[in-house]
Amino acid sequence: MEAQAPLPRWFTDLLAHRRWVHRTHPFPHVYVREVFDRRFYERLAAEFEKVSDPASGLFGPVAQGYSATGANLTAIRDSPLEIFLSRAWHDLIAGVVGARGAVTGDVEGSLHHHEPNSPRGWPHNDLAPAWFPDRVPGPGEVGLPAKDIDLKSGARPDGVEARELVRAVAVLFYLGNGDWQPGHGGETSLFTAPDSAAPESMVKVPPLNNSMIVFECAPRTWHTFAGGNTAARNSVVMWLHQPREQAVRRWGGTGIVDW
């Protein structure tokens, strides 16, 4: 097996170096209470506050019927938030779930904002297609969505080549949420099944600043925004990707949820 290159020092110096906890219920996921060094986290939160200001014009509806507004990370450059589009971050996330040899280097990510008293979302597993430019990222690079290729359908002008990938790893990083306390709502709910309402079948992950959950996208990684938030709920959401044929071999073609 080829040895993986170590993560660069400039990157590891930004991390808090706290425990990354592997959990198995209700499905395998990794929880991190403190991701970044406090000073760098404060830079991320300040940048989120700046770009989420309505005057920036960057935020818009995420999806029909979904309560969040958002901005694609590709629209926010020369910013501390670009850390989430770095190859070092990609490789760290892939490594923690054992997927470094399975993912392609292609990344999709957005900033999300839920207004207070936002409604609950619907359970979903994120095992969905994503279309990227035909060029495969090289070592040290990341591939990003292209403006002339529809990310969900692959629709594009004649002559534009594209690759159909499938989401492989999901990341939710929480920031800019004030002093969250139990009862404030806005958690991320994780389920054993999409129709399960029993408390023992569900885990609620609080949106604590500088915390994160990471999990492989699989047919049973059911999760959703819990709603009921008494204050705004903010996060970075992003995905790493795999070739569609690899996802089909692992999960079967019917396990992939087309848009």
CATH T-level assignment (fold) for domain 17-53+69-255: Jelly Rolls (2.60.120)
Torsions phi, psi for 50 (to 5 deg)? -70, -50
Partners of 205 in beta bridges: 188
pLDDT for 199: 62
pLDDT for residue 168 is more than 60: yes
Q: Which pLDDT tens digit goes with each residue over 115-155?
A: 999 999 999 999 999 999 999 999 899 999 999 999 999 99
pLDDT for 65: 77
pLDDT for residue 195 is more than 90: no
pLDDT for residue 3 is more than 60: no
pLDDT for residue 85 is more than 50: yes
pLDDT for 1: 34
pLDDT band with cut points at 50, 70 and 90 for residue 63: confident
* CA dist., res. 30 & res. 212, Å (int): 8
The set of residues, in sequence order, having a beta carbon less than 8 Å from that of 239 and lying 6+ positions away, is 107, 108, 109, 126, 130, 167, 168, 169, 170, 171, 217
Q: What's the token pair of residue 21?
A: 């906890």
Q: Which pLDDT tens digit goes with each residue over 91-116?
A: 999 999 999 899 999 999 999 999 99
0.85 exceeded by the pTM?
yes
DSSP, collapsed to helix, strand or coil, labels residue 110 as: strand
DSSP, collapsed to helix, strand or coil, labels residue 193 as: coil
